[in-house]
């Protein structure tokens, strides 16, 4: 059975594994391939489509140099973990929490944020930024400052 870690640790490709990861990406990119997992005792099992899809995304991100973290949606994060995911400082995140922009709970004197609440905030922030950018483009077009 796989041991599950509680903290969302990022994984980068070690230099000695780069070639093997690149080969795996090539295999996963073939749409017709049906991968099978082979245990040490020789037992084989087909990899389910959902796992296959996730594995493909992970391998593709790793080969492009991105760090990968896998976090359960119902996981409670510390303020530092949440700040790292949003790529903001911990004090800035605490201000967002205190303003009520992201729900949180207190465990003793510590704040905890549900991963799913953090992702909802992140998506809402992305939509709001897109809307503001669209408004800015529209204003510059109306003022004749935006050339097509």
- How many domains is the chain built from? 2
Same domain, 127 and 91: yes
Same domain, 48 and 25: yes
Q: How confident is the model at residue 106 (pLDDT cuts 50, 70, 90)?
A: very high
Mean model confidence pLDDT for the chain: 85
Domain boundary (39, 63, 87) is at: 63
pLDDT at 120: 95
Same domain, 33 and 88: no
Cα separations in angstroms, 131 against 1, 126, 134, 137, 138:
46, 9, 5, 10, 11
* Domain assignment of residue 106, given as a range: 76-142
Q: What is the pLDDT averaged over residues 88-109?
A: 96
pLDDT of residue 143 exceeding 80: yes
Same domain, 107 and 132: yes
pLDDT at 4: 45
41-55, 61-75, 86-100 — which is least confidently predicted? 61-75
Same domain, 56 and 82: no
pLDDT at 148: 59
Same domain, 23 and 58: yes
Same domain, 93 and 130: yes
The answer to whether the predicted template modeling score (pTM) of the entire model surpasses 0.75 is no
Same domain, 51 and 107: no
pLDDT of residue 147 exceeding 80: no
Q: How confident is the model at residue 11 (pLDDT cuts 50, 70, 90)?
A: low
Q: How confident is the model at residue 59 (pLDDT cuts 50, 70, 90)?
A: confident
Same domain, 94 and 135: yes
């Amino acid at each position: 059975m796989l041991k599950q870690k509680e903290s969302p640790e990022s994984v980068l490709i070690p230099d000695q594994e780069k070639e093997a990861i690149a080969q795996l990406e090539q295999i996963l990119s073939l749409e017709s391939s049906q991968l099978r997992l082979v245990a040490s005792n020789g037992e084989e099992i087909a990899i389910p489509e959902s796992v296959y899809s996730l594995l493909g995304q992970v391998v593709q991100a790793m080969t492009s140099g991105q760090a990968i973290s896998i976090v359960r949606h119902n996981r409670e994060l510390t303020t530092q973990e949440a700040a790292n995911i949003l790529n903001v400082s911990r004090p800035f995140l605490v201000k967002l929490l205190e303003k009520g922009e992201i729900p949180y709970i207190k465990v003793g004197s510590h704040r905890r944020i549900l991963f799913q609440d953090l992702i909802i905030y992140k998506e809402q922030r992305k939509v709001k930024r897109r809307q503001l950018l669209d408004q800015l483009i529209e204003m510059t077009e109306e003022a004749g400052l935006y050339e097509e």
